[in-house]
Amino acid sequence: MAQINPDTTVGELVAQRPARSRVFETLKIDYCCGGKLALSKACANRGLDTGTVIGLLEQADGQATDVVDAGAMSLGDLADHIVRAHHDFLRAELPRLDAITEKVFRVHGEHEPRLKQVREAFCELKDEMLSHMAKEEHVLFPMIRKMEQTRTPQSCCGGTLAHPIAQMEAEHTQSGDALATMSAATDGYTPPPWACNTYRAMLDGLANLERDMHQHVHKENNVLFPKALALESQLTGARAGGSSRCCGA
């Protein structure tokens, strides 16, 4: 088994072996929006010993994995997988959690003032993600699929893929901030002793939402986007500037 290098970024480590994401989830190391950080730096930021964390990652490598290997997919297959597994999940889960966070805030907000932060951060995340997914599905993912199929660089409004990808990454960071706010305001989704079943269901749903968002953003930030940019650069070099346009601009 290849040794894990502490200088490798946490995003690359998960891209190599998706099961490692479980270790990072447990240790609260951000491998999606914070995926460009070296393992040693990410461990230092969390006050963790890098050697111990490498031991846990190697242990995870030795165990069977049922996590999808995004790195082994074509760009088109990965974009399809992200839509089916993560966008469809959000379209089903966001309305359910919208109703539940509204109810819990309305009923228990006076007793627990931090529920206002949870509700506001959730609404921000929901609005952001619904618009974000539409942009990926209608603009960026079709450009990536077409580039892969036709082996031709795609141009959107005169620019390369770098601009829409940077925009999507910035929106991921905003969503990550909203998730961090909800986690902090609920003590890591821990129910207070007096919490009713609806309150507990809300925390369970939000914790699940956070886990899914981490996987989702990781697959885009650390696998799909870098591979798409690498292919674009390869094709641009080969064609010396020849490209087709995506939106008729």
Q: Which positions ≥6 away from 67 have C-beta within 8 Å?
A: 18, 19, 21, 22, 215
For the bound state, the minimum distance from the C-beta of residue 83 to Fe ion, rounded and expressed in Å, comes to 8
Nearer to Fe ion, 144 or 202 (CB): 144
Q: Cα–Cα distance between 97 and 60 in angstroms, integer? A: 32
The count of residues interacting with Fe ion (CB under 5 A) is: 3
Nearer to Fe ion, 12 or 136 (CB): 136
Nearer to Fe ion, 220 or 232 (CB): 220
User: Which residue type is seen at 22?
Assistant: R
Sign of CA dihedral 202, 206, 207, 212: positive
Sole window of 19-27, 64-72, 134-142, 143-151 interacting with Fe ion (rule: CB under 5 A): 134-142
| 158 conformational bin, left if phi > 0, alpha if psi -120 to 50, beta if neither | left
In the region spanning residues 145 to 174, those forming contacts with Fe ion, defined by CB under 5 A, are 168
- Burial pattern 61-83, b for ≥16 Cβ within 10 A else e, equals beeeeeeeebbebebbebbeebe
Nearer to Fe ion, 143 or 168 (CB): 168
The DSSP annotation for 171-208 comes to HHHHHHHHHHHHHHHTTTTPPPTT--HHHHHHHHHHHH
Tokens at 245, concatenated: 């346009």
Sole window of 38-46, 67-75, 116-124, 135-143 interacting with Fe ion (rule: CB under 5 A): 135-143
Site string for Fe ion, 227-246 (x = CB under 5 A): --------------------
Q: Cα–Cα distance between 37 and 29 in angstroms, integer? A: 10
User: Which residue type is seen at 128?
Assistant: E
Sole window of 94-102, 184-192, 202-210, 213-221 interacting with Fe ion (rule: CB under 5 A): 213-221
Q: Of 220, 222, 232, 246, which lies in the binding site for Fe ion, with binding defined by CB under 5 A?
A: 220
Phi, psi of 244 (to 5 degrees): -115, 155
Residue nearest to Fe ion (CB): 220
Sole window of 147-155, 180-188, 205-213, 219-227 interacting with Fe ion (rule: CB under 5 A): 219-227
Nearer to Fe ion, 119 or 218 (CB): 218
For the bound state, the minimum distance from the C-beta of residue 172 to Fe ion, rounded and expressed in Å, comes to 6
Q: Is 143 in the site for Fe ion (CB under 5 A)?
A: no
| Sites of contact with Fe ion (CB under 5 A) | 136, 168, 220
